[in-house]
Amino acid sequence: MAYPKDRFDHLPDDLKRVGAHRGPKRKGRGWIAFAWALLATGVLVFAGLFTISRVFDIDLGLPIFAGQPTPTPTPTPTPTMDPILDPLAPDFVARGIKVIVLNGTATPGLQSTAAADLTAKGWVIASAVPAAAKDVAETFVYYSDPLNEDAARGLVVALGLGEIRLVSPETFPGAPITIVIGADFPGAAPLAPEPETTP
C-alpha cells in the first residue's frame, strides 16, 4: 500500500537525527544547566546562612550578615542648679526653707558654731543639736526635695566644705535640709583610728 509523500519524507542531509524525533544536542547547553544549578546552590546557601545569623543570633564574621550597629547613646549630663549665694533674696525667702544642723562629732558645741555662722550669713536655722552618731567623718548637706538642690549647694559654699546628698523625706522627717557636721569641720577632733585586727 502506498502512502502520499509529505515533508517528513524528505529530510536535509545535514540533519543528523538519532531515532525518530531526536536531533543533535546544541553546543553549550550543559554549561547553561550547570550555571543554573550553581545559582540555585548559591541562593540556598545564602538563605541558610542568613537564617542562622538572624534566628540564632550567631556572628558569622561576614559583613553582609552583620546587623545594623547599635548606636551608642551619648550620656546626657545631669543638670545641676546654681548655688544660692544670697539667702536673703526675696524669692528665696519666700520659699521658707529652714535648716537643721546636727553635730556628728565627739566635739561638743560645733553645731552651735556652724549655726551661728550660717545665721550671720542670712540662713534660717530651725535647730542645732548633737547627732546620734559621733563618728561622722565628712560633712554632708542632705536635702529631700530636688528643687532644694540650689539651697543645699549654697550651704556648702557658706560652710566652705561638705558635699550634698539627695535623700528620701523619711530620712530626716520634717526637715527639708539637714546639715550633719563631720570630723572635717574646723575645730572637730579627729576620729580615733580603728584598732588593727590580727588574723
Nearest to 64 by CA among 49, 85, 43: 49
Residue 5 DSSP class: -
Do residues 142 and 107 share a domain? yes
Domain that holds residue 36: 29-65
Is residue 1 situated within a structural domain? no
The CATH code of the domain that includes 175 is 3.30.70.2390
pLDDT digits (tens, 9 = 90+) for 123-164: 999 999 999 999 999 999 999 999 999 999 999 999 999 999
Is this prediction's pTM over 0.85?
A: no
Do residues 39 and 112 share a domain? no
pLDDT digits (tens, 9 = 90+) for 12-35: 665 555 555 555 566 666 677 777
More confident residue, 186 or 8: 186
Is residue 191 situated within a structural domain? no
pLDDT band at 66; cut points 50, 70, 90? low
Beta bridge partners of 18: 22
Do residues 56 and 96 share a domain? no
Do residues 60 and 96 share a domain? no
pLDDT digits (tens, 9 = 90+) for 81-122: 999 999 999 999 999 999 999 999 999 999 999 999 999 999
Do residues 105 and 161 share a domain? yes
More confident residue, 85 or 62: 85
Is residue 82 situated within a structural domain? no
Is residue 116 situated within a structural domain? yes
pLDDT band at 67; cut points 50, 70, 90? low
Is residue 117 situated within a structural domain? yes
Sequence-ordered list of residues with C-beta below 8 angstroms from that of 167, at least 6 positions apart, any chain: 142, 143, 144
- Mean pLDDT for the stretch of residues 53-57: 65
The number of distinct structural domains making up the chain is 2
Do residues 118 and 167 share a domain? yes
Do residues 173 and 98 share a domain? yes
Alpha-helical regions (H) of 73-148: 90-93, 110-120
Do residues 170 and 120 share a domain? yes
Is residue 54 situated within a structural domain? yes
Do residues 95 and 174 share a domain? yes
